[in-house]
Amino acid sequence: MPIFDCATLTDIADRFGTPVYFTDFSLIQEKFQQVDSAFSRLKNAGKRVKIFYSIKANSNPFIMRYLLSLGAGLDILSEGELALSLRSKASPSDLMISGTMLAEELLSQASGLKIKINLDSLESIQRGARAGLKRAGIRLNPLIEAGHHEKVRTATSASKFGIALEGYTIAKEEFRKRGLSLDGIHYHIGSGIETCDPFVRALSQICRTVDNLSQLKYLDIGGGYASSKGGKPFDFTNLVNSLIENSDLLPPEIYIEAGRYLVANSTVLLSRVTEVKSTSRRTFVGIDAGFNDMMRTVLYGAEHPFFTCGCAGKKFRADLVGPICESGDVFRTDVSIAAKEGSLVVFHDVGAYGYSLSSNYLTRPRPAEIASYKSRIFLMRKRQTPAELFSDVSWKSFSSFLKQASR
């Protein structure tokens, strides 16, 4: 029986309330094995392949720990992600930092723990040396414009990420001057990319630019593979072929950063219909999830597929909207839907940048996260309570302030 059937989903909604995120771990395993299998041919070319999960996509520690158990490393970008990775029992040797504008505190932590790190500016190389780094990689910008939205294209001429290819020689000299060993090269061109062509072009740019690339320890080719196209998995064939064809030019280790690809399809967001409202011009199906719970639509214009449970009536045209007091709180516009008060609306493909981008806007508690693993249901993260929303407020100071303000 499929895990995302209405009977199971209705039971989850009844037990844990809505809105709620529900993850099927078998789908994460399936996606990891797809990537691992696609790149396995590189072993015949003498290369060692390591998949690093970009935890910004979904930093639930259950998911992080599960991917570590499958053989993945973790790609982290902040002090908080580092702390969470260590709390999730990740070894420092399984971690990679590939962020931008990295603070000296994080650089110092990476140095002390000997975590692999890629530096993306001359300034970060200088800060890294001051923080005690002895070795690192360089993040380059191959100037390949790719990605499903302008906000996720990271290799354009206007991008804040990476060192331009023509600056590689200067960056390498900065490494030498600062006493840093150059371990590898990293690049990442964007997210939600549907074909191999941009990845192949980026690899070609790197191979032409970096002298003695094969003498380094690793090449980190980033990620950004679209989680699905027409329901089909990403076809890695041309990228893998290109890596094999250039294998003599490449280091012995190839790193892949996959975030959204591994987890996007694993999770659904369940929400209850609160009302069906008609005006003289439109009909609205209001649900109890808002863009604070899942903001990919308002941020990226993403249109997540959905279906409904608990309503067998005739379909009608409507806008699917949340309760946030902003006009942008719209999940879908002018869709065909069968819905009534109390029925369940299920959004697909929210495992990446769903919960991780959620917020307490309008002082709304964040949803619960539930998982299915080997036919068992786990509570991964409980729903926030209103009291927990205020736990960081200094009420003692508030009382003092109130006395002063009342004088």
Average pLDDT over residues 222-248: 87
Average pLDDT over residues 227-253: 89
Range of the domain at 173: 25-261
Average of per-residue pLDDT across 289-306? 91
Is residue 2 scored above 70 in pLDDT? no
Task: Write out the two tokens for 223.
Answer: 């990620």
Would you name the residues annotated as active-site residues? 325
361: left (phi over 0), alpha (psi -120 to 50) or beta: beta
* 244 in the same domain as 168: yes
**Domain boundary, last residue among 242, 261, 280:** 261
Residue 309 located in a structural domain = yes
Same domain, 10 and 52: no
- Quick one: CA dihedral 372, 376, 380, 384, positive or negative? positive
Task: Examine the domain organization and report whether 118 and 168 are in the same domain.
Answer: yes
* Token output for 301: 């214009």
The answer to whether residue 293 sits within a structural domain is yes
Helix (H, G, I), strand (E, B) or coil at 307: strand
Instruction: Tell me the mean pLDDT in the region 303-314.
Output: 89
Is the same domain home to 217 and 310? no
Tell which of 196, 229, 261 closes a domain.
261
Can you tell me the mean pLDDT for 258-283?
Answer: 95
Question: What's this model's pTM, rounded to 2 decimal places?
Answer: 0.92
Instruction: Give the pLDDT mean for 214-241.
Output: 87
Q: Does position 68 have pLDDT exceeding 80, yes or no?
A: yes
Contact 225, 197 (CB under 8 A): no
Asked if residue 400 is part of any domain, the answer here is no
pLDDT above 90: residue 161: no
- The mean per-residue pLDDT over the stretch 356-377 comes to 95
CA distance 46 to 38: 15
Q: How many domains does the chain have?
A: 2
Q: Are residues 105 and 53 in the same domain?
A: yes
Confidence of residue 346 (pLDDT cuts 50, 70, 90): very high
Does 302 map to a domain?
yes
- Statement to judge: residues 185 and 211 lie in one domain: yes
**pLDDT over 70 at 230, yes or no:** no
Work out the mean pLDDT of the chain and round it to a whole number: 92
Task: Provide the pLDDT for residue 154.
Answer: 60
Does the pLDDT value for residue 1 go beyond 50?
Answer: no
pLDDT of the residue at 105: 93
Tokens 């690809």 belong to: 261
Q: Where a domain ends, among 261, 282, 309?
A: 261
396, pLDDT greater than 70: yes
pLDDT at 146: 59
- Same domain membership, residue 330 and residue 246: no
199 in the same domain as 98 = yes
DSSP string, 201-249: HHHHHHHHH-TTGGGSSEEE----B-S-BTTBPP--HHHHHHHHHTGGG
In a domain, 394, yes or no: no
CA angle at 160 for the pair 356 and 328, rounded to the nearest 5°? 45
**To the nearest whole percent, how much of the chain has pLDDT over 70?**
95
Which pLDDT band holds residue 3 (cuts at 50, 70, 90)? Answer: confident
Asked if residue 87 and residue 15 are part of one domain, the reply reads no
- What confidence tens digit (pLDDT) does each residue in 242-264 have? 999 999 999 999 999 999 999 99
Residues 193 and 280 in one domain: no
- Quick check: 311 pLDDT over 70? yes
CATH of residue 353's domain is: 2.40.37.10
Lowest average pLDDT, out of 27-36, 75-84, 149-158, 186-195, goes to 149-158
Instruction: Tell whether 332 and 196 lie within a shared domain.
Output: no
Q: Please tell me which of 127-131, 156-160, 229-233 the model is most confident about, judged by mean pLDDT.
A: 127-131
Of 50-64, 134-148, 257-271, 299-313, where does mean pLDDT reach its minimum?
A: 134-148
